[in-house]
Amino acid sequence: MIPVAKPILSGEEIEEIRAVLDSGILAQGDVVADFEGRFADYVGASYAVATNSGTSALHAALASLGVGEGDEVITTPFTFIATATSIMMQRARPVFCDIDPQTYNIDPDLIAEKVTEKTTAIVVVHLYGLPCDMGPIMEIARDQGLKVVEDACQAHGAEYHGQKAGSIGDAGVFSFYPTKNMTTGEGGMITTSDLEVAERVRIFRNHGQSRRYVHETLGYNYRMTNIAAAIGLSQLKHLDEFNARRRENAGYYDKNLNVKTPFVPEGREHVYHQYTIQVEGREEFIEHLEENGVGYGIHYPIPAHKQPFLKDYGELVLPNAEEASRRVISIPVHPGLTDEERDMVVQTVNSYE
């Protein structure tokens, strides 16, 4: 079976991990600080703060931007659930706004009508590695006095008019889960150019501790280990290479597939965390992929506002997100894919009647 995702570990990671083991400092330390500095430089943000997952990074970013109890936070329903649950961790309410059916990202034209006097922030998601239309989103946010978090958990290295994802809003958030464009096993990062936000995040991820055993705020243990950061440092060195191969694979699919392929608006650099197509009769298509040994993923089969645990959104209808949930399917685009495997994927998809 050709897997839909697979991390590339070059072997350098082993050396980096061995150095950490030899040092005896396994938890958060200098290696994490080094990874943070390099990641901030890569993204083009002044600061980066590492955490133990993308979810904890989202939670820390929201808390540190002042999102709290009773607030409303506008976001997309067409995302991994952590985008919404991290808002709820702050006892705030996610307000779901429909997507643009062409890009699958939040539709900026629909955001303004969702703003109320309780709205304090917008969390946008650069889904599948394609940046949202950040120009109009930042304009609405600045007009209305709202904070913007970029959930860039799928968009390491993606660009919007030359600016890297994670450097445009008040904070950017990344995940380093093994399926992502780069990994640390589990891990996350917050990027920001606001020193106060960076300091609040640093305290929040370490039990709200400002000095040893002095706890200024409620905080959590969201720290990254030096072992994870060691993996991250060598992965970051190869990120541009990994993304270039993802783009090459995507370009090949764009040219050769006879189905609805991803749409990339002008000025956006897609990093193809997923290559997501649409087909008629998804269930039969899945059977066809399975028979031919082609892995796939459905991102996401249920939009957030229809999840069983969010019953109080009962009657909310967001037609574009709901339609996309019924139709989308992602095929292997990861950088470890061989040319032969890529051809097999093309043949399999194109032979589906």
For ligand PLP, the binding residues (CB under 6 A) are 53-55, 79-80, 82-83, 125, 151, 153-154, 175, 177, 188
Q: How many CB atoms lie within 10 A of CB 257?
A: 16
Closest distance to ligand PLP from the beta carbon of 89 (Å): 12
Q: Are 60 and 50 in contact (CB under 8 A)?
A: no
The residue among 166 and 349 lying less far from ligand PLP, judged by its C-beta, is 166
Token pair, residue 148, equals 């913007």
Task: Tell me the C-alpha distance between 346 and 278, whole Å.
Answer: 14
Please state whether beta strands 188-192 and 47-51 pair in parallel, antiparallel, or not at all (unpaired): antiparallel
Closest distance to ligand PLP from the beta carbon of 186 (Å): 6
Which residue, judged by CB position, is nearest to ligand PLP in the bound state? 54
Closest distance to ligand PLP from the beta carbon of 155 (Å): 9
The residue among 83 and 348 lying less far from ligand PLP, judged by its C-beta, is 83
The residue among 120 and 175 lying less far from ligand PLP, judged by its C-beta, is 175
Exposure b/e, 48-68, CB count within 10 A at least 16 = b: bbbbbbbbbbbbbbbbbbebe
Closest distance to ligand PLP from the beta carbon of 271 (Å): 13
The residue among 40 and 152 lying less far from ligand PLP, judged by its C-beta, is 152
Smallest CA-to-CA distance from 177 within 308, 7, 1 is with 7
CA distances from 137 to 1, 49, 144, 224 (A): 41, 24, 11, 31
The residue among 153 and 230 lying less far from ligand PLP, judged by its C-beta, is 153
Task: Tell me the C-alpha distance between 260 and 90, whole Å.
Answer: 38
Closest distance to ligand PLP from the beta carbon of 82 (Å): 4
The residue among 96 and 252 lying less far from ligand PLP, judged by its C-beta, is 96
Q: Are 325 and 99 in contact (CB under 8 A)?
A: no
Would you give the DSSP letter of residue 260?
B
The residue among 130 and 233 lying less far from ligand PLP, judged by its C-beta, is 130
Closest distance to ligand PLP from the beta carbon of 128 (Å): 9
Closest distance to ligand PLP from the beta carbon of 176 (Å): 7
Token pair, residue 278, equals 């649409």
Tell me: cis bond preceding 272? Omega within 30 of 0 counts: no
Tell me: cis bond preceding 300? Omega within 30 of 0 counts: yes
Task: Tell me the C-alpha distance between 309 and 313, whole Å.
Answer: 10
